[in-house]
């Protein structure tokens, strides 16, 4: 067997593998003999059919199978010994495979295209400069959150006369008969001039107005459960007949509310409640900030490493390996995101190897628990599910034939690599407002 490598670009190469009869024939003959021992051929006792007959019947398929196995193992072994990192999978040259005469040829030559990255050098020191943001929550945001809590936990009433901020339930009809719908009309989403028509009215009142002028197209589409385009087409006067007035009376800041929002006995005064609300808002923002900080570190490393990916090879590989699932146009569109993900994976693995950073099983389990707790907390089910946490974790990590476990393993390693980089890099900490942080996210 002869294997040759031809680097014809900075990150692409072709590999040729030549096989002669001595390379494959002993294995082929051995496999045919195994077939002969088990074969049941009409006219012969089981296992007694002539070798030549079995070879004639199965020789070609055995030859193809053995050569494919030899090619796969030999190519993998060869690539493992190289200093460069292969990306994607080797692509067989289709034209050469189509020209093979399996019955007559004794010598075979196979050619593969490969993409690779080499010379990946990522010095982690103070020349790598990153910013770490902390978010400061304003009193205004705490008050806004408090107002929302009062509404959320407030009491629903049905007053006789409407006021600003009420919801009016009733029937909306177009004067030309093109629309008739029962809905709950939120006065706070209407423009000021129109909203005045709906204030101070009682049940059975009939109000004439133009929905296209009173409401934004998106809000009107949501109320009528139609598309934005259909909402924009609604014009002219409509009549709304009030069937009921719904008002949420704000909850009182008392121990009952404190316990409902935070859990029994967590706080015992309005001051403690507001402090806790501010802490929770800050924690949520700083979780987002941590993700943003990590992305900024990744960006800095990607710029520093300047990974030269074999773009054309990877696009061809993605197209050929997902032939029935993705089009060439989709590959072109999604490639930038894929390339960034792949580049980061190469950088992360390189840093992990050079600094002996490994993700341990216990860390994978703990990160999975954290993820599940956050999901359960958002659904309000955390307390009753904690006793079954081990079962949830095992079920998740065993899902998708182990893919979930590998994803969490990669995530843990990535976190540890980023933490290592933050220790070595020159980090500038900066405290910013939530508004400034939102602008960062927008950019």
Whole-number pLDDT of residue 5: 95
Total number of domains constituting the chain: 3
Residue bearing tokens 């010379």: 119
- Residue 243: which pLDDT band, with cuts at 50, 70 and 90? very high
Residue 148 lies in a domain: no
Do residue 113 and residue 135 come from a single domain? no
Of the listed ranges 92-106, 119-133, 203-217, 223-237, the least confidently predicted one is: 92-106
* Cα–Cα distance, 435 to 138 (Å, whole number): 10
Residue 145 lies in a domain: no
Residue 293 lies in a domain: yes
Do residue 291 and residue 373 come from a single domain? yes
Average the pLDDT over 49-65 and give the result: 84
Report the chain's mean pLDDT, rounded to a whole number.
90
Task: Domain of residue 47: give its range.
Answer: 2-117
Residue-wise pLDDT for 114-127, tens only, equals 999 998 888 888 88
Half-sphere exposure of 286 (CA within 13 A, CB side): 13
Longest Cα separation, the chain: 103
Whole-number pLDDT of residue 379: 57
Of 386 and 85, more confident: 85
Whole-number pLDDT of residue 437: 93
Average the pLDDT over 250-262 and give the result: 92
Q: 191 pLDDT exceeds 90?
A: yes
Print burial letters for 179-198: b (CB count within 10 Å at least 16), e (below 16).
eeeebebbbebbeeebbebb
Residue 241 lies in a domain: yes
Residue-wise pLDDT for 1-19, tens only, equals 999 999 988 899 999 999 9
Do residue 418 and residue 292 come from a single domain? yes
Whole-number pLDDT of residue 417: 95
Average the pLDDT over 189-210 and give the result: 95
Residue-wise pLDDT for 402-412, tens only, equals 899 999 999 99
Beta bridge partners of 57: none
- Residue 384: which pLDDT band, with cuts at 50, 70 and 90? low
φ, ψ of residue 224 to 5 degrees: the values are -95, -5
Residue-wise pLDDT for 271-302, tens only, equals 999 999 999 999 999 999 999 999 999 999 99
Do residue 190 and residue 168 come from a single domain? yes
Among the listed residues 10, 11, 27, the one whose alpha carbon sits nearest the alpha carbon of residue 19: 27
Cα–Cα–Cα angle for 415, 420, 422, rounded to 5 degrees = 95
Q: 383 pLDDT exceeds 60?
A: no
Do residue 298 and residue 168 come from a single domain? no
Average the pLDDT over 324-333 and give the result: 88
- The string of DSSP letters for 200-262 reads T--TT-EEEE-HHHHS-HHHHHHHHT--HHHHHT--S-EEEEEEEEEEEEPPPSSHHHHHHHH
Full-prediction pTM beyond 0.85? no
Of 57 and 230, more confident: 230
Q: Which CATH number does the domain housing residue 37 bear?
A: 3.30.70.1050
Among the listed residues 70, 63, 81, the one whose alpha carbon sits nearest the alpha carbon of residue 5: 81
Whole-number pLDDT of residue 50: 80
Whole-number pLDDT of residue 95: 67
Residue-wise pLDDT for 85-143, tens only, equals 999 999 998 766 678 888 889 999 999 999 999 988 888 888 888 889 999 999 999 99
Do residue 235 and residue 278 come from a single domain? no
Do residue 430 and residue 296 come from a single domain? yes
Whole-number pLDDT of residue 385: 65
Do residue 232 and residue 276 come from a single domain? no
Q: Are strands 426-433 and 129-136 parallel, antiparallel or unpaired?
A: parallel
Q: 413 pLDDT exceeds 90?
A: yes
Do residue 434 and residue 344 come from a single domain? yes
* Cα–Cα distance, 181 to 279 (Å, whole number): 44
Do residue 163 and residue 293 come from a single domain? no
Whole-number pLDDT of residue 125: 85
Which runs of E-coded beta strand occur in 44-174?
A: 85-92, 108-117, 129-136, 155-157, 167-174
132: how many CB neighbours lie within 10 A of its CB?
Answer: 17
Q: Which CATH number does the domain housing residue 190 bear?
A: 3.10.50
Residue-wise pLDDT for 15-45, tens only, equals 999 999 999 999 998 988 887 777 777 777 7
Whole-number pLDDT of residue 327: 86
Do residue 244 and residue 292 come from a single domain? no
Q: Which CATH number does the domain housing residue 416 bear?
A: 1.10.3120
Q: What is the DSSP letter of 423?
A: H
Query: Under a CB-based contact definition with an 8 Å cutoff, are residues 441 and 133 in contact?
Result: no
Do residue 413 and residue 378 come from a single domain? yes
């Amino acid at each position: 067997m002869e294997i040759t490598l031809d680097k014809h670009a900075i990150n692409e190469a072709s590999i040729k593998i030549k096989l002669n009869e001595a390379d494959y024939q002993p294995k082929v003959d051995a496999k045919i003999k195994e077939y002969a021992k088990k074969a049941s051929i009409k006219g012969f006792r089981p296992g007694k059919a002539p070798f030549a007959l079995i070879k004639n019947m199965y020789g070609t398929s055995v030859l193809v199978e053995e050569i494919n196995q030899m090619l796969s193992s030999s190519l993998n072994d060869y690539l493992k010994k190289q200093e460069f990192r292969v990306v994607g999978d080797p692509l067989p040259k289709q034209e050469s495979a189509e020209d093979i005469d399996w019955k007559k040829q004794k010598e075979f030559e196979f050619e593969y295209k490969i993409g690779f990255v080499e010379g990946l050098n990522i010095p982690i020191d103070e020349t790598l400069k990153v910013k770490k943001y902390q978010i400061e929550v304003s009193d205004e945001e705490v008050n806004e959150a408090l107002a929302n809590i009062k509404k959320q936990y407030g009491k629903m009433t049905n007053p006789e006369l409407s006021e600003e901020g009420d919801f009016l339930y009733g029937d909306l009809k177009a004067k030309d008969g093109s629309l008739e719908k029962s809905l709950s009309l939120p006065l706070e989403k209407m423009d000021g001039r129109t909203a005045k028509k709906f204030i101070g009215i009682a049940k059975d009142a009939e109000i004439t107005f133009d929905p296209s002028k009173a409401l934004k197209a998106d809000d009107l589409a949501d109320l009528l459960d139609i598309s934005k385009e259909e909402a924009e087409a609604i014009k002219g006067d409509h009549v709304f007949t009030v069937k009921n007035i719904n008002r949420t009376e704000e909850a009182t800041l008392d121990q009952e509310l404190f316990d409902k929002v935070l859990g029994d006995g967590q706080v015992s005064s309005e001051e403690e409640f507001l402090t806790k609300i501010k802490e929770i808002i800050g924690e949520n923002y700083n979780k987002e900030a941590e993700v943003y900080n990590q992305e900024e570190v990744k960006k800095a490393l990607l710029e520093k490493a300047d990974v030269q990916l074999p773009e054309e090879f990877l696009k061809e590989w993605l197209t050929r390996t997902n032939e029935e699932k993705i089009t060439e146009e989709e590959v072109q569109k999604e490639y930038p995101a894929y390339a960034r993900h792949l580049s980061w994976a190469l950088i992360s693995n390189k840093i992990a190897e050079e600094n002996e950073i490994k993700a341990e099983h216990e860390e994978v389990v703990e990160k999975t628990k954290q993820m599940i707790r956050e999901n359960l907390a958002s659904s309000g089910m955390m307390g009753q599910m904690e006793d079954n946490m081990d079962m949830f974790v095992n079920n998740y990590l065993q899902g998708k034939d182990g893919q979930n476990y590998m994803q969490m393993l990669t995530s843990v390693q990535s976190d540890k690599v980023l933490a290592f980089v933050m220790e070595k890099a020159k980090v500038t900490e900066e405290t910013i407002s939530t508004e400034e942080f939102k602008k960062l996210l927008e950019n």
